Chains A and B, each alone.
Chain A
Amino acid sequence: LWRKFVRLACNFMVIFIPWEMRIKKIESHFGSGVASYFIFLRWLFGINIVLTIMTGAFIVIPELIAGQPFGSTASKTIPKEHVVSAQDLDTVWSLGGYLQYSVLFYGYYGRERRIGRAGYRLPLAYFLVGMAVFAYSFIILLKKMAKNSHNSLASVPNENYTFCWRVFCAWDYLIGNPEAAESKTAAIVNSIREAILEEQEKKKSKNLVVTICLRVVANILVLLSLAGSIYLIYFVVDRSQKLEQSKKELTLWEKNEVSVVVSLVTMLAPSAFDLIAALEMYHPRTTLRFQLARVLVLYLGNLYSLIIALLDKVNSMSTEEAATKNNTSHWIDSTIFATRTAPEEEKWSTPGPGTGLPRNSTWAPEETSIPAYTLSEANKTTVYTQRPQDQCWETYVGQEMLKLSIIDMLFTVASILLIDFFRGLFVRYLSDYWCWDLESKFPEYGEFKIAENVLHLVYNQGMIWMGAFFSPCLPAFNVLKLIGLMYLRSWAVLTCNVPHQQVFRASRSNNFYLAMLLFMLFLCMLPTIFAIVRYKPSLNCGPFSGQEKMYDIVSETIEKDFPAWFGSMVGYVSSPVVILPAVLLLFMLIYYLQSIARSLKLSNQQLRMQIQNARSEDKKKVAQMVEARIQTQEESSMRLPKDSDLGSRLSSAHSVVPQSNGTVVNLDSSSSKRGRGETAAQRTPPSPQSGLGSPSAPLPGTSKCRPEQHINRCLRGRSASAGDRHQDRSCSPGMRTKHAEVVRSEPLFRRDFQQIDPPLRGPGLSAVVPRGPRSCAPRYYIINERDSRQKIHPTFWPERHFRMDALGDMVMCPRTTRQGVSWAPQQGHSPQLSEEEEDAPRRELVQWSLHPQSLRGLQGAPHFYAGDRSESQTLVPEHQGRMHFKSWDDSFEAPLDRPAYGHKKPRSRNFQSAQHPPKLRGKPKVEPSLTESDSMSAASSSDQQNGSNDQYPQVTPSQAKFRRSAGQLGRRKPISRQELVADLNDLICSNV
């Protein structure tokens, strides 16, 4: 019930998230990239709402309620000669007339320190809110970025199974609504396309030189166009200023050309960049980044050139003002007004502008207002009458910003309508009557360009931030604009845009946009702050009129409205004594956090690596299991041909047999060519055996073969358990606890081995005996695997282990019995060779049992199969998992850094080296035993022959390997190599 309630609440909440459904719909149709634009838009909308509330609640509404009403003061009254034209569309359009003297702009706000009955300190509020807007934006941006980066850390992209997950985990089985199903299908198609695209991008081969050249060219082009656009804007602003000075009446175009040009540039240049970016052949995501960065630079350049031009104008205005001041003072001197003294002027002026205006203590504004007033009264020239209002440069900047914003909006709407909608209509309805296919060739349907649109939002927001101080209503206007944009855009996207042809993933938590926004915010803040700090507020308007600097309001408030101790405290705090250490502390803190973050990053990376390793090990393990299973299958299938071979050998000449066996080998166990070649090469040593033994081969061979295989099968389980026991033993320090999950953790074990082995190999012969069993372990492990594979069930593991544990005690028994078997007829030699027939596990067992017991008489044969055993195991992996194993030779040559399966080889080599010393001692015995056996009974020798023949399929290719490994070994221990060769020769000789 609770869950249901929560779900209901969630559903309910979704309703209140603005445009959630709309965005979801767009996302399902156009992919996450387009949706990220809208999500970004929505987020900006949220920010702007907060900004609007801040400015509205603390500045606009108090001013409206408690401030002086319109027309009460000079700064709030439209000059008389302008009243006539105040309603003209022309004036309204350029935000003059009534709009200029409204709450929209800085100039309207009064400069009384307290307004209303509550004594609201409007100027202070104005200043603080202006700063708070920036502060809030910064904080919210950083917060969002931190959250995003956290998210992106949490969901580390895992490239291992991209496609699998997209296919098998894509469908949400909870979906029970046709529309949702449709959306989901669209989303799946999109995501699969994205993945395909990524894959193709990975594959794309590149011609480096050409691309580099192209990129250089592209960058030059971009720089040129950037410089051009900046120059253009500067030129236009300059020209408009000159025009303003030279002409009184400006045409509509002349008034708006700045904004229009800026908007045009911002609209056209991105498309040019887009074209240029096509030259560069980057990955789409990189292209997007580059595009965004360039467009951002462009926008910034535009904004900056604009603002610099404006500030230039402001500068010239203030110089003009200074000039007029000089003029007027000179004029005052020369006219009748000049005869009046300052107090008189004051007296005269107070009733003039001041209806309810409290006495101003500062003298400067009074002075300028008087001449201005007198001038307006005198109405000498229009230029002079305009001055008091025009000098309000803050209003002027705000006006420009608002104008820019409005024109930008108009252009956006126009471009959406023109470029998207009408183009869509045109393409849609005229394509039937056109001479080429409009839908697929030239005009096409518009694509939604994420980069430009996002950048446009950023740019827009930048303008807002820049102008917010001078025009408190700009955020409110922006809210409206964003709402309109949201609906228009989403409508346009859904109706007349086609999904981007190259879909790619732009994750929702994209910090890139936010980083750009932050950058923009910072850069937009700079000019504002600069203006606030650098320029003197205009004298006749705005809340700061009369102060030397705008921030004086704060110190003034502190001085006057707070107790004295607070002021002195602030004085101390702001003194260098406190500030410097604080800054130092901050630096230290930043450094500290930075280093912590770096170390965390490092550890994170390592952990990820570890996960990756574990995963790949797992993957290999799965592969191995399957291979082991396949191997068993092959072995069983090999056995059948073997038997048939034996049957055929009854009648056929013995010389054919090895060949046929060889072909079986080639077909079954390894198809690698080298294996075959070496089969041919290496068949020589045993062939004399077969040549000798074959005459008496047939009958006992066939008769013996089967039962032994049976035994073999029966024994496999035991030997497996024995193997496990070895493994257990070898790993016993600390590993025993893991036994229940040995198989799971097997790869780790192996790696441990690998690390342990090399150092152990160094000592060489001294550590022979302990190394033997340990090196056995992994091989046993494979047998286990095979064992388990025969019963194909994954959940079999624990049971098997259980069984092995149970059998662990019994291990001694089979071993001893085995030894008994192998010991007893040893002089007969045939059982020993019959052992050869048995497949791996038992041989291992024998070897193992040989070790401590040092059955020297047996050394010749088992030693042989030491190589065989390991090789036959490793061989199949080789040809099965050739991918892993491409460098067989390399893995031999450089055994220490060999990949997945290579670790078996050192062990085999190891094993052999371990076998060597006993063999040295055993060599004398081998000879007699073999000769003895040969001479003793034909049956036994036939057995031998049989056995060896039977072994060929497995042995021959592996012998080659064995030889190789022996050679390798010999490189390290030349003596042992000689011994080995001698041994082989001995074997041959004895057989002959």
Chain B
Amino acid sequence: MGNKQTVFAHEQLEAYQDCTFFTRKEIMRLFYRYQDLAPQLVPLDYTSCPDVKVPYELIGSMPELKDNPFRQRIAQVFSEDGDGHMTLDNFLDMFSVMSEMAPRDLKAYYAFKIYDFNNDGYICAWDLEQTVTKLTRGELSTEEVSLVCEKVLDEADGDHDGRLSLEDFQNMILRAPDFLSTFHIRI
């Protein structure tokens, strides 16, 4: 118990609790997970807010992310500068968004960012191709992939500009029956 007190200042913990959907206990647990990833990098004392980043290679090797085809995108989206290296804040943020308590709007927003591979604010055909190939591990032929992309655009593209904007995406994904249950990482 004493350990907890030393890792974070009280205010820090409060702030984390305000910013995430986690309880104090979960935050501590996440911190230890984070610390476990790179014990030599992450200090056990966070009261002074050290500027530490855990590289993507370590983040991506977490069992929760290891088999996810979009792990790189997830890490990139949640990291500050888009390179996948995460600070503790980013880390908490990621699991907070992925937690069960996060509202679906937020989830949809981040899902959009994850699927937007080239970060241009739209899911274009190329992004879709990336998504599909990653999802199927390249088992579909190119024609099939392009057909799927075409159909997806056809279905969800409300303004027919050949790409999905955030509104299109939200409109579509918020109706999906199992989006909430699948877009969710338990930790």
Contacts and interface: CB of A to CB of B under 8 A. Distances in A.
A188 interface: yes
B67 A626 contact: no
A630 B132 contact: no
Interface string A163-176: 11101111111111
The 4 residue pairs across chains A and B that have the minimum distance between CB atoms: A181-B67, A626-B159, A622-B158, A623-B158
Given A167-B135, A168-B115, A622 B179 contact: no
B185 interface: yes
B159 A196 contact: no
Given A163-B155, A172-B182, A173-B68, A188 B168 contact: no
B160 to A, nearest CB: 6
B184 A626 contact: no
Interface string A609-637: 00000010011101101110010000000
B185 A188 contact: no
Given A158-B175, A173-B182, A196-B151, 7 more contacts: A165-B172, A169-B176, A173-B98, A188-B136, A192-B140, A192-B144, A619-B171
Interface residues of B, number: 50
16 contacts: A161-B176, A162-B151, A164-B152, A168-B179, A170-B135, A171-B68, A171-B69, A171-B70, A176-B67, A185-B137, A189-B139, A192-B136, A196-B148, A199-B151, A794-B166, A881-B159
A167 B132 contact: yes
A167 B179 contact: no
Interface string A139-171: 000000000000000010010111111011111
A113 interface: no
Nearest to B179: A169
A192 B135 CA distance: 10
B110 to A, nearest CB: 11
Given A168-B172, A176-B67, A185 B185 contact: no
Interface string B151-187: 1101110111100011111111101111100111110
Contact of A167 (B66, B152, B168, B184): B152
B155 A168 contact: no
Contacts of B65: 176
Given A168-B115, A173-B98, A615-B175, A626 B158 contact: yes
A185 B155 CA distance: 23
A169 B139 contact: no
Contacts of A164: 152, 155-156, 172-173, 176
B25 to A, nearest CB: 12
Contacts of B70: 171
B79 interface: no
Nearest to B98: A173
B131 A169 contact: no
Interface residues of A, number: 45
B140 A169 contact: no
B152 A883 contact: no
Nearest to A881: B160
A193 interface: yes
A813 interface: no
B63 interface: yes
A880 interface: yes
Nearest to B168: A622
Contacts of B159: 622-623, 626-627, 630, 880-881
Nearest to A179: B67
B128 interface: yes
Contacts of B177: 155, 165
Main secondary structure of the interface of A (DSSP, over half): helix
Interface core residue of B144, B159, B176, B186 (most chain A CB under 10 Å) = B159
Contact of B155 (A160, A626, A794): A160
B38 interface: no
A171 B160 CA distance: 26
Contacts of B152: 163-164, 167
Contacts of A880: 159-160
Contacts of B170: 794
A163 B144 contact: no
B64 interface: yes
A578 to B, nearest CB: 50
A185 B151 contact: no
Contacts of B115: 168
A261 B160 CA distance: 62
A170 B131 CA distance: 11
A164 B155 CA distance: 7
A991 B156 CA distance: 51
Interface of B: 63-70, 98, 111, 115, 128, 131-132, 135-137, 139-140, 144, 147-148, 151-152, 154-156, 158-161, 165-173, 175-179, 182-186
Nearest to A178: B67
Contacts of B140: 189, 192-193
Nearest to A883: B160
B64 A171 contact: no
B154 to A, nearest CB: 8
Interface string A394-432: 000000000000000000000000000000000000000
A501 interface: no
Contacts of B169: 168
Contacts of A171: 68-70, 135, 182
A172 B186 CA distance: 11
Contact of A176 (B66, B111, B131, B167): B66
B143 to A, nearest CB: 9
Nearest to B165: A626
Contacts of B154: 163
A192 B133 CA distance: 12
A177 interface: yes
A154 to B, nearest CB: 10
A193 B140 CA distance: 8
Interface string A184-198: 011011001101100
B179 to A, nearest CB: 5
A180 interface: yes
Nearest to A170: B135
Interface string A438-462: 0000000000000000000000000
Contact of A193 (B64, B144, B151): B144
B176 A165 contact: yes
Contacts of B144: 192-193, 196
Contact of B64 (A163, A176, A180, A619): A176
Given A161-B176, A196-B147, A180 B67 contact: yes
B139 A185 contact: yes
Contacts of A186: 139
B185 A173 contact: yes
A96 to B, nearest CB: 56
A518 B173 CA distance: 40
